[in-house]
Amino acid sequence: MRRVGLLLTVLAASPALVACGPAMDAVVGIGLDDGGDLVAVAKVCDDDVAQVDLYTHDPEVLVRSWRRDEPLTGTESWRLDTMSGRWRSDDTPPGLDRDAVYGLWATRSRGDVTSWVTFTGEEVGRLQPGHLLVRRPDRLSAASDSSEVSVIGWDDLRTWNCGW
């Protein structure tokens, strides 16, 4: 009888445990615009994003950083191979190695990370124009800081409800 009581207590608490997870104030992604050009995208739901950094993993090396004079508070994309728009960089435009693992990290104006996505050059190479790789904030794991990386369309990002 004790085991049944314990099991019922655990099961009753399970929905609350699954619903808990790290807060997501923004979504950052990488993909192809409708013309097939490589872009980064950020959607801010709470606070802001002032800088986005592209790193390689193993070894961790900064590939390129983009900064905004005024932090982003909405949704915006920018091409990674040009210096146009509101995102600025002093670095050379990146070329993605098919076999390398990358991380794209978004940082708030106060300096803390708000979102990231990890991907390979091969994953980006398989994308169709108009699609993005993002960490799904609506699929965060309660057991860790990770979540599922998904391919979504631009319209999916635009219509995502920030109430995740």
Q: What is the pLDDT along the chain (164 residues), one digit of tens a residue?
A: 433 343 333 333 333 333 333 456 888 999 999 999 999 999 998 889 999 999 998 889 999 999 998 999 989 999 988 766 788 888 777 789 999 999 999 999 998 888 899 999 999 999 999 999 998 766 554 444 445 788 999 888 888 776 55
- pLDDT value at residue 5: 40
Among the four given CATH numbers 2.40.360, 2.10.70, 1.20.950, 2.60.40, the one describing domain 21-159: 2.60.40
Q: Is 163 exposed, middle or buried (0-12, 13-18, 19+ CB in 10 A)?
A: exposed
- pLDDT value at residue 54: 93
- pLDDT value at residue 114: 83
How many CA atoms lie less than 13 Å away from 161 in the CB half-sphere?
A: 3
The CA-CA-CA angle for residues 61, 62, 68, to 5°, reads: 170
- pLDDT value at residue 125: 94
* Domain residue spans of the chain: 21-159
Inter-residue contact 164 to 146 (CB < 8 Å)? no
- pLDDT value at residue 93: 74
